[in-house]
Structure 1
Amino acid sequence: MSSDYSSDDMPLARPNGHLSATTISKAEDKAMDRGNSRAKSLVAPVSIRHGPIKDEHAMDIDSPPVNGNKRKSRSSFNHTVSYKDESDSEDGPMTKRQKADSDDSDDDVPLTKRKPKLPPKASETDMLDIDDSDDDEPLNVKLAQKRKSIENAAAREAKQAKQRKPAPKKSIKDESDDDLPLSRAKPAKRQSNGTAGKSNGVKKDIDSDSDAPIRKKKTALATKAKPTKATPAKKVPAKSAKKEQSEDPGDGEEGEEEYRWWDAPKKEDDSIKWNMLEHNGVLFPPEYEPLPKNVRLLYDGTPVNLHIEAEEVAGFFGAMLNSTHNVENPVFQKNFFGDFCEIITRTGGAKDKQGNKVAIKEFSKLDFKQIFEYYQAKSDARKARPGAEKKAEKAEKDKAEAAYMFCKWDGRKEKVGNFRVEPPGLFRGRGEHPKTGKVKKRVLPEQITINIGKDAEVPPAPAGHKWKAVQHDNKATWLAMWQENINGAYKYVMLAANSSVKGQSDFKKFEKARNLKNHIARIRKDYQTELHSSLMQDRQRATAMYLIDKLALRAGNEKDAENEAETVGCCSLKFEHVTLKAPDTVIFDFLGKDSIRYYDEVRVEKQVFKNFQHFKKPPKGEGDDLFDRLTTTQLNKHLSSYMPGLTAKVFRTYNASYTMGKLLKDIKVAPNMTVAEKVNLYNQANREVAVLCNHKRTVGAGHEAQMEKLGDRIKGLKFQQWRTKLMLIDVDPKQKKKKGADFFKLDEDLDDAWIQEHLNFLVEEERKKISKKFEKDNQKRVADGEKPMPDKELKERLKAADDLGKQYKKEYKSQKVEAEGKGPTVEKIEANIKKIDDRIKNFELQAADREGNKEVALGTSKINYIDPRLTVVFSKKFDVPIEKLFSKTLREKFNWAIKSVEDEENWEF
């Protein structure tokens, strides 16, 4: 194929850098082939991210990565993948445990303080396998074969799509602006320079939503949306409308009609986002409260008085002394101290009690202890307040926020997302951000631009202030905007994730990825051909497309090293980020998105390996770009020649959704499967997609503790089941002979030491329960004007816990348990045993799932890359409540997906 680049597009080598040759001769290629043929290639390619490669025949081409000991490795997953293309109810008293703490991630720990950690051995990465399969085929081979079969299926579908006759026109439910399936859309003309021709547009169906502006109103919220005649909107049932009213402060609508935009006629001009927009602006953080006179910053042991602005900044640092991974970071300290000194100088300097100036020159002499203790005591006091006081404060807060929570968008009430202006503080950033510790200044109204309808009333700025500007841009979806001082980035107030605007954006994103399946076979065929091109720029582009498609690498953009953390993607890989090991292993080691280290050894096609040898050819060295004749802009320009709007990012969405669709389609569900088992099958598919997209997370510090607590919960259920079984003998002694001695044995996981500890735990839990009940009863008596009960009453009540402890110990020793409950029968007790058994299985599934997900971020792929309609179809097909797969927030965000395929069980991506 011809190149898409003009000479103006050609990237230049950085100062003192080296640029790859323009062309690659056949002689060079052949010489490299001869050198590579000396090393023996293994049959089964493996990614070390899922287990290390052991190849005694492999020959190092490069030395180990120079940055190998600088960055924290993301530990390996529990699956292995080949990317080489070979063929073209409530808990009972016996089980109650305190809820596990949330995962503590070490993502914010400075990388310079982290110990280098490479992926573990393959033998250490075996996950808890709940599959009953006895197949000994290695998991990496299975996954590789599955991936290849999915790619082949995609190629077949693309071929079939070309042969289909044009389908009748459908509603927005099945099409977006320019993302029609290939069989239905007019093909874009390929220009001589490789770019796509202009879109032919879409035939006008029905006039777009009413353009009539509404009159100015003082009340900016709550008006009924009028559905179009063509597609009447469904009313939300009165019961659910009431529920929504109570949950959303400021929601004064009754019988609010749901806007089913996915059923609405397509707009004539999709660039126009709204015709009428009203809102109440933004909510500013509270003003700073000065420190008490007895709380001061100390400098070299001397209390100093600061201007209120400098004092506030000192408070930012002092309040976070317990965040040692930030305040002990030298970069954080340096940046904070620089900004702090500048503010002190600008505001008149620091002074002692006598009014003498104190020169603050050394960070090490600053003592924030008094400030920390003040804010810590304030925090503890807030937490210790009575529940009624907390509830009243929340009600007051909700009332203050109610006016900002909703806007009126083309006559419909839509929820606003981030209507609060971020308070001032210290910037933290992610990873080794060079600006961590700098002061985020307070945002003033004079910095904020308001975007609102021409006929709407502009929300007033706070007293004594005015807005920077007011505009009426109906092609923009933001309500307010300002520029922050750290990186000069623009912050926007947008609609909430569950709004119709965000929903339509998500819909278009997934439809664009869905349309890629009609072009993917041709794209893959073309880049496979260009891997052998004599033009270096074509070969680099093809190699980048291979990595983006097969390894799901992000495209990568240029970074400002002084202002941003040095993270890279495919197109911005440097010489030192890639190490080669013959015959076909490529070792990647770089900081990816969010400064998380990407370390992986991947077996690739020999041509790709050879191309990397060309890209690293001397005189190139550390600091030089590998893809020095390719930029992200050029790559996306080339991709758009295949399909309008196609970018490297769309590949991730397509590969994730298409793979998930195929995996879910292949799931076999037995008739007697529980909901928990079906959910586990769904999570396994989701996990494979997360592996494909490199959605990793570091194992939280609390993971082991959580697993231990979950294990205790399972053991507690087993102990409870053992007691319940012994109740059978109490009701009917013949059951011992009938069911056999093994049925009544304690589970082998329950040793004597654990049981004794568990019994003590149960007694202590009972004591807490009695104490809380006593406290609650006393509060009620005081509220009713009665005298509280004396402490001796509590002591009397606590005897019941001691008696319970004696009972448990007696039961354990005698192996006899008296049947509990009203009118216990064999049938009732057996039913209870079955219920406990089901709960044990569910918890064991959860344990296996949690262990398998400890290094995989399932949420990222589920929220951003997997078409939510696939999850909805799975839910309906296998009768799994959608609540088990989507949280309340996701159900609101993906309401369009739930409703749009509610009657389409066989919908496919």
Structure 2
Amino acid sequence: MSSSEDDAPLFGKRRSNGHATAAKHALSDELVSRSADPSASATPRINGYAKPGVSVHGPSDSADVEMQDVDAIGAGPAKRKSRGSDALRKSYAEPESSEEEEKPLSKRRRTSGQRRIEDSESDEAPLISRTAKPAAKLAEESDSDVPIGKKLQAEKTRIEEKAGKEAKAIRKQETTAAAKKKPQAKAASTAKGKKPLANGIKKSESSDDEIPLSRKVPAKKAAKPVKTESAAAKKAKTKKESTEELEAEEAEEEYRWWEDPSKGDGTIKWTTLEHNGVVFPPPYEPLPKNVKMNYDGIPITLAPEAEEVAGFFGSMLNSTHNVENPTFQKNFFHDFSEIITKTGGAKDSKGNKVAIKSFDKCDFKPIFEYYEMKRLEKKNLPAAEKKALKAEKDAQEAPYLYCMWDGRKQKVGNFRVEPPALFRGRGEHPKTGKVKTRVMPEQITINIGKDAKVPTPPAGHKWKEVKHDQEGTWLAMWQENINGNYKYVMLAANSDIKGQSDYKKFEKARELKKHIDRIRKDYKKGLKQELMSERQKATAVYLIDQFALRAGNEKGEDEADTVGCCSLKFENVTLKPPNTVIFDFLGKDSIRFYDEVEVDPQVFKNLKIFKKAPKKEGDEIFDRLTTSALNKHLSNYMPGLTAKVFRTYNASYTMSTLLKDMKSTGTVAEKIKDYNDANRRVAILCNHKRTVGAGHATQMEKLADRIKALRYQEWRLKQMMLDLDPKIKKKKGAAFFELEEGMDQEWIKNHQAFLVEEQRQKIMKKFEKDNEKRVAEGEKEMKAKELEERLEAAKELEAKFKRENKTKKVEAEGKGVTIEKLENNLSKLEQRIQNMAFQAEDKENNKEVALGTSKINYIDPRLTVVFSKKFNVPIEKFFSKTLREKFDWAIKSVDEDWEF
């Protein structure tokens, strides 16, 4: 597409969201008439103020849960599949970071297709009766009678005003510093009798003020020690570290690339590169002859290629969300039929050909039962055998774990080629169910140094191509058959290259601090522009800045019908006077975006004009604006500025502002809750929402049960105190020894039975583990009599509970038990209960907010490190091991006084 087309978008020149745009679509007038908006002007006066947008309504739960992907719900953010490349043009863009990416497919989140069932009674009841500690003060609190929307708007206004003043201060500081340097440099050069430099500044004397934010090195300062794990715990952890990780670290001085300003953003990413290629999935293992798919009640024989595809469907019959989806079924059967025809057709037991024409007549249950049996066999393997299989697999993959990048050992991310399977997609993807074919070596391009040894392809095969692309950070790539996307083997999240990519992303957001006031001033002015294209551009930037909307890319006809800001359609936006806008569309990865927001009155008026008749369903709202034109406009303010940078900037700047105002005190659990409260505030202000997970109610119920169990344990300790000293009841008061509300005799008996069974299971597992260890060491297995003796402990516990229920007394347990010891145990137990209560409250508060998305992708990790050091909370409480490796540069580069 030519640049002129980018600057002057016309409906007939592009496709949007899979629909060819034709002349019959209504197009907005070129100019905004005075009748539509009396304030319209070719040179409007500065608007001065535009109300910050705020969300007033969250996503609609049940509908959203239904529309999510099979792997969309769980403990962390789901991996997002990249759709950025097409068949004609490859992209080297790295996908957004996510902790979920580090997990194998089998460990990722699963979604139930069922709607979440709300229990109104349990939702209203508090988990515990105690009063929670108030959250750390984040900002000036408004009157409790003020609506939440007004509070958010006031807080957003305060943050935006602060950002504007800061931007002006930064620019003034840089201008003053540059002005001072000019005469100094001129005087110095004249004194030496040399001709002054063209820019008046000597290179060797450039100050830190003149270096862009992205090139500045944080000043070193003795960091405040953070209380972390005990020495014993660290020692235990060290022993568990894998051999590969130790090898990568030994005899190698730590390389702090973030302290090396010479490592800029040049095009050459490496000079030398060595690696061992990729690991292919194992070849297909045919089913036993007695296991066959049935068609119309008749067992049929298929060629191995077709049988493998039947196995894809058969092995996932328990995933009803997919296999009962009509689109999934249709796409699968289309591809399956083609493969059957291509491989010689299907035959019955007598060798007669069977025409496979109806999906409804296909019965995959025998295949499912076979694979289910194999899964159980694998699960029930002895621990020693599992360990041996894992060791064998690790030994085979060891050569692929690391590469040599400019002479430094770097961990490779996912070096395994994706196995063939059925494509699931996210949300309502139109290609769900299609067959992802097996990737062959002939499809794979290797990227490696010119002087390095090229990895040997599997016997009888060859690589598609061997490149020496020093501008690429990929090691291997291939094109998958479903969407034509390019898949890349990249370095691991904790590698220098990945770390530099994250670092540059957040430094780019910090750079936006200098320009944000000018951008906001300009789009506020542009909201009243007479020229329709300019007004649409200003409105789009407002929505992107205020609601973290994605810009939206143009779609091909066979791509999912997803929407962004520039591609919003008539039906995606509903207007409710005086200034409420409802967005409802399929966003990135086909996940439904639903939000009800309050906008500036002028923005509301503009959207009304953009939807003006004769526009109707199917017509675009921003019909005189393209994503490329929008990004080109943004880059005029700052090189590389796109819609995505606004999300990173807004999240990080908001978190930075909240942290400055915060006074976090109390226990570690209370401080973590304060951090999560700030993170949640960021997610709400920046519109990082998620749907309530299908399993949320169940998780909350389990947490409540765990708290209740600890309360029962607490009650038993109090009864033991009475057993030792009956007079203490008068001293402490009768209420101190009473059962918690909701803890009746029926619940107690059920809980006691659970505790007895739990102990029995622990004993049995320990016995099996001990036997496996003895066999591995060449000793004889223990006899069943030993297990019976060990199980006596569970029987004794059961008898003790029966005695307690009968006598209504609990005998004091333990060696040398005293009132003081029991009180000490009570204190520890109360702390555990409080910590768990904080977790429960946190979980409930965050059920509709994507804290993981904010923390991992949009909030500068250095801000989390600042909180950790400032309030003396171990960084392990915020970042998992994978994230600590990924953000190692952030952990080691800042102290508690660092500012975004």
Please give the range of the TM-score, normalised by the shorter of the 2 chains. 0.7 to 0.9
- Supply the distance in 1 between the matched residues of 2:108 and 2:814 (Cα, whole angstroms): 39
Deviations 1:115-137 (A, max 9, x none): 7999x9xx989999956389624
Instruction: Specify which of 677, 681, 686 is matched with residue 684 of structure 1.
Output: 677
* Inter-CA distance 575–792: structure 2 relative to 1 (3 Å threshold): same
Deviation (angstroms), 1:591? 1.2
Instruction: Specify which of 271, 294, 309 is matched with residue 298 of structure 1.
Output: 294
Output the amino acid matched with 1:132: P
Aligned counterpart, 2:487: 491
Contact 2:248–2:409, Cα closer than 8 Å, also in 1? no
- Supply the distance in 1 between the matched residues of 2:794 and 2:238 (Cα, whole angstroms): 44
Question: Pairwise mapping of residues 191-340 of structure 1 onto structure 2 (< 5 A)?
Answer: 246-248=242-244, 251=247, 254-267=250-263, 270-340=266-336
* Inter-CA distance 770–457: structure 2 relative to 1 (3 Å threshold): closer
Aligned counterpart, 1:380: 376
Aligned counterpart, 1:667: 662
Output the amino acid matched with 2:741: E
* Inter-CA distance 156–444: structure 2 relative to 1 (3 Å threshold): same
Q: Which is further off, 769-778 or 310-319?
A: 769-778
Q: Which is further off, 320-329 or 440-449?
A: 320-329
Instruction: Specify which of 559, 563, 566 is matched with residue 558 of structure 2.
Output: 563
Question: Pairwise mapping of residues 349-498 of structure 1 onto structure 2 (< 5 A)?
Answer: 349-498=345-494
- Supply the distance in 2 between the matched residues of 1:446 and 1:494 (Cα, whole angstroms): 19
* Inter-CA distance 784–550: structure 2 relative to 1 (3 Å threshold): closer
- Equivalent residue of 2:360, what SS? helix
Deviation (angstroms), 1:351? 2.1
Contact 1:588–1:599, Cα closer than 8 Å, also in 2? yes
* Inter-CA distance 565–693: structure 2 relative to 1 (3 Å threshold): farther
Aligned counterpart, 2:587: 592
Contact 1:319–1:376, Cα closer than 8 Å, also in 2? yes
- Supply the distance in 2 between the matched residues of 1:44 and 1:694 (Cα, whole angstroms): 13
In the alignment, structure 1 residue 849 sits paired with structure 2 residue 842 = yes
Deviations 1:616-646 (A, max 9, x none): 1111101000000001111111111111111
- Supply the distance in 2 between the matched residues of 1:102 and 1:705 (Cα, whole angstroms): 20
Aligned counterpart, 1:213: none
* Inter-CA distance 506–249: structure 2 relative to 1 (3 Å threshold): closer
* Inter-CA distance 725–473: structure 2 relative to 1 (3 Å threshold): same
Aligned counterpart, 2:84: none
Deviation (angstroms), 1:68? 12
- Supply the distance in 2 between the matched residues of 1:447 and 1:768 (Cα, whole angstroms): 51
- Supply the distance in 1 between the matched residues of 2:279 and 2:769 (Cα, whole angstroms): 38
Aligned counterpart, 1:190: none
* Inter-CA distance 622–252: structure 2 relative to 1 (3 Å threshold): closer
Deviation (angstroms), 1:8? 5.5
Aligned counterpart, 1:17: 25
Contact 1:714–1:844, Cα closer than 8 Å, also in 2? yes
- Supply the distance in 2 between the matched residues of 1:801 and 1:68 (Cα, whole angstroms): 46
- Supply the distance in 2 between the matched residues of 1:125 and 1:745 (Cα, whole angstroms): 21
- Equivalent residue of 1:891, what SS? helix
Deviation (angstroms), 1:251? 3.4
Output the amino acid matched with 1:340: F
- Supply the distance in 2 between the matched residues of 1:768 and 1:70 (Cα, whole angstroms): 37
- Supply the distance in 1 between the matched residues of 2:499 and 2:297 (Cα, whole angstroms): 57
Instruction: Specify which of 590, 614, 629 is matched with residue 609 of structure 2.
Output: 614
Q: Which is further off, 613-622 or 145-154?
A: 145-154
TM-score by length of 2: 0.81
Deviation (angstroms), 1:269? 6.6
* Inter-CA distance 829–167: structure 2 relative to 1 (3 Å threshold): farther
Instruction: Specify which of 754, 757, 763 is matched with residue 764 of structure 1.
Output: 757
- Equivalent residue of 1:580, what SS? strand
Contact 1:405–1:416, Cα closer than 8 Å, also in 2? yes
* Inter-CA distance 341–407: structure 2 relative to 1 (3 Å threshold): same
- Supply the distance in 2 between the matched residues of 1:6 and 1:765 (Cα, whole angstroms): 69
* Inter-CA distance 418–463: structure 2 relative to 1 (3 Å threshold): same
- Supply the distance in 2 between the matched residues of 1:154 and 1:886 (Cα, whole angstroms): 28
Contact 2:420–2:435, Cα closer than 8 Å, also in 1? yes
Deviations 1:139-165 (A, max 9, x none): 433332222211111111112112215
TM-score by length of 1: 0.80
- Supply the distance in 2 between the matched residues of 1:761 and 1:337 (Cα, whole angstroms): 47
Deviations 1:346-368 (A, max 9, x none): 22222223322222222222221
In the alignment, structure 1 residue 342 sits paired with structure 2 residue 333 = no
* Inter-CA distance 167–819: structure 2 relative to 1 (3 Å threshold): farther
- Supply the distance in 2 between the matched residues of 1:785 and 1:650 (Cα, whole angstroms): 61
Output the amino acid matched with 1:256: E
- Supply the distance in 2 between the matched residues of 1:809 and 1:245 (Cα, whole angstroms): 46
Contact 1:127–1:851, Cα closer than 8 Å, also in 2? no
Output the amino acid matched with 2:36: E
Question: Pairwise mapping of residues 95-174 of structure 1 onto structure 2 (< 5 A)?
Answer: 106=111, 109=113, 130=132, 132=134, 136-137=144-145, 138-165=147-174
Output the amino acid matched with 2:27: L
Contact 1:430–1:595, Cα closer than 8 Å, also in 2? yes
In the alignment, structure 1 residue 820 sits paired with structure 2 residue 813 = yes
Root-mean-square deviation (CA, aligned residues, Å) is 3.6
- Unaligned 5+ residue runs, structure 1? 34-42, 53-66, 76-100, 170-182, 184-199, 207-230, 232-236
Instruction: Specify which of 626, 651, 657 is matched with residue 656 of structure 1.
Output: 651
- Supply the distance in 2 between the matched residues of 1:841 and 1:267 (Cα, whole angstroms): 48
Contact 2:64–2:691, Cα closer than 8 Å, also in 1? no
Aligned counterpart, 1:209: none
Contact 1:306–1:344, Cα closer than 8 Å, also in 2? yes
- Supply the distance in 1 between the matched residues of 2:874 and 2:538 (Cα, whole angstroms): 44
- Supply the distance in 1 between the matched residues of 2:314 and 2:728 (Cα, whole angstroms): 67
Deviation (angstroms), 1:698? 3.0
Aligned counterpart, 1:710: 703
* Inter-CA distance 531–45: structure 2 relative to 1 (3 Å threshold): closer
Output the amino acid matched with 2:29: A
Aligned counterpart, 1:906: 897
Deviations 1:522-545 (A, max 9, x none): 111110000000000011011111
Question: Pairwise mapping of residues 857-872 of structure 1 onto structure 2 (< 5 A)?
Answer: 857-872=850-865
Question: Pairwise mapping of residues 598-637 of structure 1 onto structure 2 (< 5 A)?
Answer: 598-637=593-632
- Equivalent residue of 1:143, what SS? helix
Instruction: Specify which of 891, 894, 897 is matched with residue 887 of structure 2.
Output: 894
Instruction: Specify which of 507, 529, 534 is matched with residue 533 of structure 1.
Output: 529
- Equivalent residue of 1:248, what SS? helix
- Taking CA–CA contacts closer than 8 Å with sequence separation of 6 or more, which of the two structures ends up with the larger relative contact order? 2
- Supply the distance in 2 between the matched residues of 1:423 and 1:374 (Cα, whole angstroms): 20
Contact 1:44–1:141, Cα closer than 8 Å, also in 2? no
* Inter-CA distance 638–707: structure 2 relative to 1 (3 Å threshold): same
- Equivalent residue of 1:29, what SS? coil
- Supply the distance in 2 between the matched residues of 1:723 and 1:451 (Cα, whole angstroms): 66
Output the amino acid matched with 2:845: G
- Supply the distance in 2 between the matched residues of 1:738 and 1:409 (Cα, whole angstroms): 72
Contact 2:494–2:885, Cα closer than 8 Å, also in 1? yes
- Supply the distance in 1 between the matched residues of 2:593 and 2:248 (Cα, whole angstroms): 50
Aligned counterpart, 1:97: none
Contact 2:293–2:364, Cα closer than 8 Å, also in 1? yes
In the alignment, structure 1 residue 696 sits paired with structure 2 residue 681 = no
Contact 2:570–2:618, Cα closer than 8 Å, also in 1? yes
Instruction: Specify which of 794, 804, 812 is matched with residue 801 of structure 1.
Output: 794
- Supply the distance in 2 between the matched residues of 1:240 and 1:497 (Cα, whole angstroms): 25
Deviation (angstroms), 1:788? 5.5
Higher helix share: 2
Contact 1:105–1:700, Cα closer than 8 Å, also in 2? no
- Supply the distance in 2 between the matched residues of 1:19 and 1:893 (Cα, whole angstroms): 47
Deviation (angstroms), 1:731? 3.5
- Equivalent residue of 2:747, what SS? helix
- Unaligned 5+ residue runs, structure 2? 13-20, 42-50, 74-105, 136-140, 183-198, 206-219, 221-230
